Each structure stands twice: as structure tokens, then as C-alpha cells.
A and B are shown apart, each in its own frame.
Chain A
Amino acid sequence: MAEPLPPGLTAERMSDALARFRKIVGKDWVFVDDRVASYHDPYTVPNDAGLHRAHAAVAPASSEEVQALVKVANELHVPLWTVSRGKNFAYGGAAPVLSGSVVLDLSRLNRILEVNEKFGYALVEPGVSYFDLYQYIKDRGLKLWIDVPDPGWGSVVGNALDHGVGYTPYGDHFGMQCGMEVVLANGEVVRTGMGALPGNNTWQLFKYGFGPYVDGLFSQSNFGIVTKMGIWLMSEPAGYRPYLITFPREEDIEQVVEIVRPLRLNNVLQNAATIRSLVLDAALFTTKSQYYPGKGPIPDSVAKQIMADQEIGMWNFCGALYGPPAITDVLWSTTRDAFASIPGVKFYFPEDRKRRPDILIHRADTMRGIPKLTEFGFLNWNGGGGHVGFSPVSPITGQDAIRQWRMVSGRVREHGFDYMGLMAVGFRELHHVTVIVYDQNDPAERQKLDELFRLMVREAAAEGYGEYRTHIHYMDTIAGTYGWNDNALMKMHQRIKDALDPNGILSPGKSGIWPRHLREAKKA
């Protein structure tokens, strides 16, 4: 099918824009027609093939080229959908919210500008992946660890900007961000925090500088294009001891989370640990058909067989201890004693795990910042390949955890899917991330997924739970749940959008934030 044009833009004007883009970046770095296919959402949700389709893509190699592209886009009113590396696959990949947008692909801004071992940080461009940064540090023998999300090919900058999480003590990626360089919609370049002070040597050391702290405005937003970002890195600890604790009953989640909260608040749990469900872990290395030939969610008898085969529980708590043995020994005994009261609990270190491949052996790498793609194995569970993340946030209480688990697992199973969820322990909250694995080539299954997702959003919001991140197809839906005081927050976002980007060229629709002309068109 012909790639769509954005609303209000003629083919002639788009053609003019692309010609001028080619003069800026070179003809080899503007992608049109069949070359745009790589920018489509590979795990599409809607059955309307016209949604979320880019018209073209352009890949600059420097901040200066980004500035020049933005100026042309502003002049001709061409919407640019910015991606760092476009690997945010559970949430839309490189595809835009608004069909007809030109993807501004920052993959070629891939320079590691500085890695500082003494102070523990890196300054990188958005095209730098976790694999790249890991390899760079390893090649130089630096005593630093990075923190990685499950897929290691994503952008260090992009993941932090989308509020992604990892699994070391530095697991809150945006929390570890320090200092940005941003190209605004008018082409002006801004440095945040200490970066605004000429000649400073603290841009990646102190976040706040002087005056309003604005970095958050450029996360999950469309107010500017981040072209450089500082990220704090963890010093290699004196010791490292990953562990796995398994629990045999789904209802155990209530007691587990009640135990987790004081451990986390007292820093006995040092890292962003995860409590993962049976099927999510089993799916990494085995497929559903190996255990169950039927349709729909696996029955309890099959769940018990998987638990026995793979020595895992209905819930599996993956954590790690960091530091010298004198410290980690005490932390471990405290942790073990706290969980020992749960009937059927089992404790494992890597040396206790004999099966290969094994979930703890795999996650022992992730919790020390080794980037991998192993988690993509769960997409093989039913062979369909598609996946979408549903990610409500909750307090760290047993009552909230079991309520959320009942709500989500119940609806997921009613709709014929297996529950594949995890609860990631933040500083004060749980991210309850459920991946729904579906057959992306089956329109009926996509329709069922869409109905399920919207139902879960409504039910979660009714209970006071909101999603922290979402797929491009649901950005308006999620934004609509954050409506306190007559949508005051969204109104403020819109005022900022209109002030910084009056022509509305930057990522229209990102996080439900639309520029004025498209808001008015939607009303009409």
C-alpha cells in the first residue's frame, strides 16, 4: 500500500521536504516507499492497516543535521516522529502514532562521547545501544557496570526517556539520567542542569543546576529531541551473588509483597528485583506445545508439571546481593529469614541450578548489567510472535499486588491468553508488567487483544491504578485516565506543547499530547 500523508500536507509539499532532507543528510539516509517497511510496528495491534504508518524516515548523523531537519520541518509543517533506535518493540517499535509522519531515526547519532570511571557515568548519543556501551567498557577494562533492560539492543537514551527499568541497583533508568542536550522545535539547542554553565565540569554529576529542573519535560514527551544524555554507571562491586526464591502458589504473591516492602525500604533488597510468574519464566526456554496441546490458558495440572520440570514456582523472585561478602552474608540471612515463613518456599544460588538453560543462570547476567536478547524467547511460547505490555503501577502492598494479579490474570485468561506477568520492585512502587503474547497475523486475535487491553485499562483506572508506559496505539487511552481536576495535567502539557512547538511538528500524539491544530481537527 502507498504510504500515507499526514493530515493537511500535500504530496508536493512532502516531496519538497524530502528533497531538502536529502540535501541535509545525503540521499542514502532518507528512506521512502518499500524502504519504510522496516519502520512499521512489527507487532501491530489494530486491524486498520492505515494506522501508525510512517510516510518516510530520515536518519541524521549529528545534532547539527537534526537542527537543520527541524527547521525544514517547521517551515513546511512536516510531522517528525523521533526514535532513538526504534527498538521499543512492546510499545510500537519505530512506528509513529500519527500516520504520515516522517520517522526521525537517530540510530546514526551513535557516539559514546565519554565514559568516566572515576565518577561513574557515561555521556552518550541516542543511537548508542546497551550492547555498544557494554562492549566499550569491557574493551577498556573499566570497573563499571551498566544497567540493562531485558532487550540489550535498545537505546540507552531512549529507554531512559521512556522510563524503562533494569535490574541492578541502578534499575530506575531515568532516575540515573544526569544532564541532556536537546534540540527544540525551532532548531535551538539547550543543555540542561549544569550543562547550561559555560566551562562547567559537573554536567553529568549534578542534575539540577539552577532554576527549574526541566529534564523530565523531555521524557515520554514531544517537547524536544534529546541528542545527548548523561547516565550514571555503577562501580563494579567487591562481590556479587544472585539468587532465586520460588513460591508454589499464585496466592503467595500477597505475602511475598508484604515481605518485600520493608526489605526494600531498608535497602536489604539492593536491586530492582522482580517477582515473575510461572509462564513468563517457563516461556524463555520452552514452548506451550511442549506441555499442552490445547487452546486457551494452561490448566493447573500443566502448571504443576512445569514447576516440577523446571524447578521454578508459580512466582519466582530474582534478586542479587552486591558488595563484599561481610555485607552480603548479612543481607542474605536477613532476606532468607524473612521469606522462610512462606510454606513451600525454596532458595537457590546459581550453583544449585543444574538444568540448562536455566532462569537464574540467565538472569544472573541481567542483574549484573550484561545485555542480552534472551527474554525474546517468551515470544515463542505460542508461536505467534506478537506482544504488548500492560504496565500498571501499584504500591508495594500485598493487598494491592493480589488485587492487581486477580484483575489482570483473570481478564487475560478469560480472553484465552496465558498470564505472563512480573512485578518489578521500585523504590516505593511495583511496576506490574504483563506481556500479552498473541498471534500478530490473526485479525481475530488482534481484535480480542484490543478489547482485552482497553478493558484492563478501564478496570485498573477505576481502582486507582495507572500505566507508566504504553504502546503507541493506546497513548490517548492511557493519557485519558490521568484526568484529575478536569484534565489539568494534560491542559498544562498542551500549553507547553503549543509554546515550544507551535507548528506541532514533533511527534504528534506522543503520550496523548497533540498540537493545537490536530486537537482542533479531532474535535471537529
Chain B
Amino acid sequence: MTHIRHLILPAALLAAGFAGPAAAADPSGQALFAHYCAPCHGDSNGPGTQQLRRSRGADKALLVERTDLAADYIQYIVRHGLKAMPPFVPSDLTDAKLRTLVSFLTSPLPRTAKDQSTLPPP
């Protein structure tokens, strides 16, 4: 392959599985969870899952299986962090994305997590 001059696209949007202007995009909560949360909370071995298992118990370890999380609480933790989890800045995980993410995490079960940290090698 010779020089690849790709169109200039927001990288985070590409990573979330779609392309196009940010304003027009409406990524699904599942895709946002995969991008922002799954590297720590996606499976049973993630550091976020381990922390929750340790502090809250095995039945509350996996975020996608939780039914007890209030929307306000999720938003607060995402913006302020908790223990080892640092906060997410609003320039990256925007308020609109956060609302979609919260909708996903408070939607009826079952939900699935796509763990970006376990994607196959290139």
C-alpha cells in the first residue's frame, strides 16, 4: 500500500464504530460502554470489576448486570471518580454521550458488554 491519506475523522467516533460529523452521530449506549467502560468493567477480570467484587460483592461486580444504579449516581461517579476510577472529562465523554451511556446502564436486562480490551490482535 502506498501513502494512505485518509479523510480526517474524529478518532473517538471511528473507535466507536461509525464515522461522520460528531453533531450528527448518535452512538448507541452499548458502543459507548464498549469504548469508555469495557476496558475496566467489561469482563470478570477487568480492574473495575475486581474492585466492585471486592467492595460490593460478586453479585454487583459486573456493571452490565446491575439494576440498582441510579442515573444521578452514575453521572456523579463518571464526573468525579471513585477510589481507583478517575473522572472522565466532559470534552471527551460529553454530556450527551453520558446521557446515552446512563440510559444503557439503567435499561432493562439483559445488556451485553463488548470488551474492547479483548479485541483480537491486528
User: Is B79's CB under 8 angstroms from A37's CB?
Assistant: yes
User: Is A133's CB under 8 angstroms from B11's CB?
Assistant: yes
> B23-49 interface mask toward A, CB cutoff 8 Å, 1 = contact, 0 = none?
000000000000100011000011110
Q: A477 within 8 Å of B by Cβ?
A: no
User: Is B84's CB under 8 angstroms from A379's CB?
Assistant: yes
Known: A380-B54, A385-B84. A114 touches B5 (CB 8 A): yes
Among the stretches B62-70, B86-94, B106-114, the one at the interface with A is: B86-94
B residues near A, CB below 8 A? 1-6, 8-12, 14-15, 35, 39-40, 45-48, 50-51, 54-55, 79-92, 116-117, 119, 121-122
Among the stretches A63-71, A368-376, A405-413, A443-451, the one at the interface with B is: A368-376
* 8 A–B pairs (Cβ distance < 8 Å), ordered by A: A31-B89, A57-B89, A108-B91, A111-B10, A112-B11, A127-B92, A132-B14, A379-B51
Q: A35 within 8 Å of B by Cβ?
A: yes
Q: How far is the CA of A40 from the CA of B79 in the complex (A)?
A: 10
Known: A131-B116, A373-B39. A115 touches B80 (CB 8 A): no
User: Is A131's CB under 8 angstroms from B15's CB?
Assistant: yes
A residues near B, CB below 8 A? 29, 31, 35, 37-40, 42-43, 57, 59, 85-87, 89, 93-94, 105, 107-108, 110-118, 124, 127-129, 131-140, 142-145, 152-153, 236, 285, 287, 289, 356-357, 365, 368-377, 379-380, 383-385, 440
Complex partner residue of B39 from A31, A94, A136, A153, CB under 8 angstroms: A153
Q: How far is the CA of A285 from the CA of B49 in the complex (A)?
A: 11
A170 to nearest B CB, angstroms?
14
Q: Which residues of A contact B4 (CB under 8 A)?
A: 114-117, 140, 142
Q: How far is the CA of A53 from the CA of B119 in the complex (A)?
A: 37
User: Is A137's CB under 8 angstroms from B90's CB?
Assistant: no
Q: How far is the CA of A29 from the CA of B2 in the complex (A)?
A: 38
Q: How far is the CA of A376 from the CA of B87 in the complex (A)?
A: 14
User: Is B39's CB under 8 angstroms from A368's CB?
Assistant: no
Q: Which residues of B contact A440 (CB under 8 A)?
A: 83
B2 to nearest A CB, angstroms?
6
Q: Which residues of B contact A107 (CB under 8 A)?
A: 89, 91-92
User: Is A135's CB under 8 angstroms from B15's CB?
Assistant: yes
User: Is A374's CB under 8 angstroms from B84's CB?
Assistant: no
Q: How far is the CA of A518 from the CA of B39 in the complex (A)?
A: 41
Q: Which residue of B lies closest to A141 (CB)?
A: B122
Q: Which residue of A lies closest to B19 (CB)?
A: A139
Known: A107-B92, A118-B2, A131-B35. A368 touches B121 (CB 8 A): yes
User: Is B6's CB under 8 angstroms from A115's CB?
Assistant: yes
User: Is A37's CB under 8 angstroms from B10's CB?
Assistant: no
Query: Most chain-A CB neighbours within 10 Å: which of B47, B83, B90, B91?
Result: B91
Q: Which residue of A lies closest to B79 (CB)?
A: A38
Q: How far is the CA of A289 from the CA of B51 in the complex (A)?
A: 12
A288 to nearest B CB, angstroms?
10
Across the A-B interface, the 8 shortest Cβ-Cβ residue pairs: A59-B91, A379-B84, A132-B11, A385-B83, A42-B86, A377-B47, A373-B39, A385-B84
User: Is B15's CB under 8 angstroms from A236's CB?
Assistant: no
User: Is A38's CB under 8 angstroms from B39's CB?
Assistant: no
Q: Which residues of A contact B85 (CB under 8 A)?
A: 42, 385
B107 to nearest A CB, angstroms?
24
User: Is A357's CB under 8 angstroms from B45's CB?
Assistant: yes
Q: How far is the CA of A78 from the CA of B5 in the complex (A)?
A: 38
Complex partner residue of B122 from A42, A124, A236, CB under 8 angstroms: A236
Q: Which residues of A contact B86 (CB under 8 A)?
A: 42-43, 87, 89, 93
User: Is B117's CB under 8 angstroms from A128's CB?
Assistant: no
User: Is B11's CB under 8 angstroms from A118's CB?
Assistant: no
A89 to nearest B CB, angstroms?
6
Q: How far is the CA of A105 from the CA of B93 in the complex (A)?
A: 13
Known: A139-B14, A368-B121. A384 touches B35 (CB 8 A): no
B42 to nearest A CB, angstroms?
10
User: Is A372's CB under 8 angstroms from B9's CB?
Assistant: no
User: Is A144's CB under 8 angstroms from B40's CB?
Assistant: no
User: Is B91's CB under 8 angstroms from A57's CB?
Assistant: yes
Q: Which residues of B contact A136 (CB under 8 A)?
A: 11, 14-15
Q: How far is the CA of A469 from the CA of B11 in the complex (A)?
A: 28
Q: How far is the CA of A113 from the CA of B6 in the complex (A)?
A: 7
B91 to nearest A CB, angstroms?
4
Q: Which residues of A contact B92 (CB under 8 A)?
A: 85, 107-108, 127
Q: Which residues of B contact A112 (CB under 8 A)?
A: 6, 8-9, 11, 14
User: Is A105's CB under 8 angstroms from B91's CB?
Assistant: yes
Q: Which residues of A contact B89 (CB under 8 A)?
A: 31, 38-39, 57, 59, 86, 94, 105, 107
